[in-house]
């Protein structure tokens, strides 16, 4: 095992840099500088910030290669800062925006010591616990993540085997829309909470999919799922405790046509850095956990399912295929 140097260790404890980045992301400083360099006073007026305080933050980040500090108290967009542009495909700015769901996640992590002592958060901060405004911000972030990976999952599985796909907990329908677009003969159903339904319906209308896609609104733990020959649970079960995860899988199995498949798309435990990061995230947000392949197989078995395949895209979650 490689031992970290002392400077590397202290760098890992730094809270100044992440908070400085969140500040400029929330103020949308990168977008202000996208066209040309600007003077500090102009930036402060445009973002409603104090010039002196903002200047100190920008100089700190310029010293670390994020922005460029120019003569005359002007600042320019560095190459690294381009990731903070609002339209960057990474959606980094939106994740860091303290006016959105990112702030909810950050605040949850500040209570990690309390979570470890108690075994969980005082109040869950996952989607089922959010108010409509926070839930909408959550959906936007999840849509950005899914959009970058959706085509990879489309290519990883032969979806043409199926006539009807039910996407359980599919957010605003990014993944389902991608699968339906690539599989013209397929019909789809999105199962989601009421807070996501309007955005999903708008997405399907814009994609010309309304005739091939239904929406079932409600909590999956309280719904009878429609009969189908394929079910997709993408990054859903890690938000549930074991008994709830078995309940969801059981509902899928009861609605599954003979010969059909249930796909569980979750993080691979072979990538320990990403796996353990997500495990802490769902811990502080409440009610969830990352699981190994063996643990998902156990949950599936408890629901009357057995694994018949593993589909691994080049990026994004692997899809475990289960049949009855």
Say yes or no: 201 and 290 in one domain.
yes
Decide: helix, strand or coil at residue 200: helix
- Reported confidence tier of residue 145, pLDDT bands at 50, 70, 90: confident
Name the residue range of residue 288's domain. 142-323
Evaluate whether residue 207 is within a structural domain. yes
pLDDT at position 1 is: 55
pLDDT at position 317 is: 94
pLDDT at position 125 is: 87
Say yes or no: 312 and 186 in one domain.
yes
Evaluate whether residue 212 is within a structural domain. yes
CA–CA distances in Å: residue 79 to residues 34, 64, 149: 11, 12, 24
Say yes or no: 64 and 189 in one domain.
no
Of 122-136, 156-170, 292-306, give the lowest mean pLDDT range. 122-136
pLDDT at position 148 is: 85
Evaluate whether residue 202 is within a structural domain. yes
**287 flagged as catalytic:** no
Specify which of 117-126, 145-154, 182-191 reaches the highest per-range mean pLDDT.
Answer: 182-191
What pLDDT digit, counting tens, does each position of 193-210 carry? 999 999 999 999 999 999
pLDDT at position 213 is: 97
Given the residues 109, 164, 187, 238, the one annotated as active site? 238
Evaluate whether residue 130 is within a structural domain. no
Question: Which residue has better confidence, 125 or 318?
Answer: 318
- Reported confidence tier of residue 23, pLDDT bands at 50, 70, 90: very high
- Reported confidence tier of residue 270, pLDDT bands at 50, 70, 90: confident
> What one-character-per-residue DSSP string does 218-273 give?
S-GGG-PPPPEEEEEEES-GGGS-HHHHHHHHHHHHHHEEEEEEEEEEE--TTSHH
Evaluate whether residue 118 is within a structural domain. no
Give the DSSP letter of residue 110: T
Average pLDDT over residues 86-93: 93
pLDDT surpassing 80 at residue 116 = yes
Evaluate whether residue 31 is within a structural domain. yes
User: What is the total count of domains within the chain?
Assistant: 2
As given in the structure block, the two tokens for residue 323 are: 């049949």
As given in the structure block, the two tokens for residue 96 are: 């860091």
């Amino acid at each position: 095992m490689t031992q970290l140097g002392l400077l590397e260790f202290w760098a890992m404890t730094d809270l100044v840099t992440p908070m400085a980045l969140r500040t400029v992301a929330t103020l949308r400083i990168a977008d202000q500088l996208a066209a040309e360099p600007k003077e500090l006073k102009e930036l402060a007026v445009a973002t409603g910030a104090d010039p002196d305080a903002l200047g100190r933050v920008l100089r700190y980040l310029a010293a670390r290669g994020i922005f460029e500090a120019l003569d005359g108290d002007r600042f320019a967009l560095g190459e690294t800062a381009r990731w903070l542009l609002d339209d960057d495909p990474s959606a980094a700015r939106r994740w860091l925006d303290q006016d959105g769901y990112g702030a909810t996640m950050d605040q949850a992590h500040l209570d990690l010591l309390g979570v470890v002592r108690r075994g969980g958060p005082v109040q869950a901060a996952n989607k089922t616990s959010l108010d409509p405004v926070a839930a909408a911000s959550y959906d936007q972030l999840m849509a950005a993540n899914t959009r970058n990976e959706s085509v990879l999952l489309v290519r990883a599985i032969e979806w043409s085997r199926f006539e009807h796909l039910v996407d359980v907990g599919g957010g605003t329908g990014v993944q389902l829309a991608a699968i339906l677009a690539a599989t013209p003969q397929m019909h789809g159903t999105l199962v989601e909470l009421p807070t996501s339904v309007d955005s999903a319906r708008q997405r399907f209308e814009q994609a010309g999919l309304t005739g091939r896609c239904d929406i079932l609104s409600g909590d999956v733990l309280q719904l009878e799922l429609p009969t189908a020959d394929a079910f997709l649970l993408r990054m859903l079960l890690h938000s549930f405790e074991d008994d709830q995860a078995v309940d969801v899988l059981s509902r899928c199995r009861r609605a599954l046509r003979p010969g059909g498949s249930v796909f569980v798309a979750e993080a691979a435990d072979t990538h320990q850095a990403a796996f353990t990061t997500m495990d802490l995230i769902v811990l502080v947000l409440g009610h969830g956990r990352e699981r190994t392949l063996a643990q998902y197989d156990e949950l599936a078995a408890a629901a009357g399912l057995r694994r018949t395949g593993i589909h691994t895209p080049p990026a994004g979650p692997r899809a475990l295929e289960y049949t009855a």
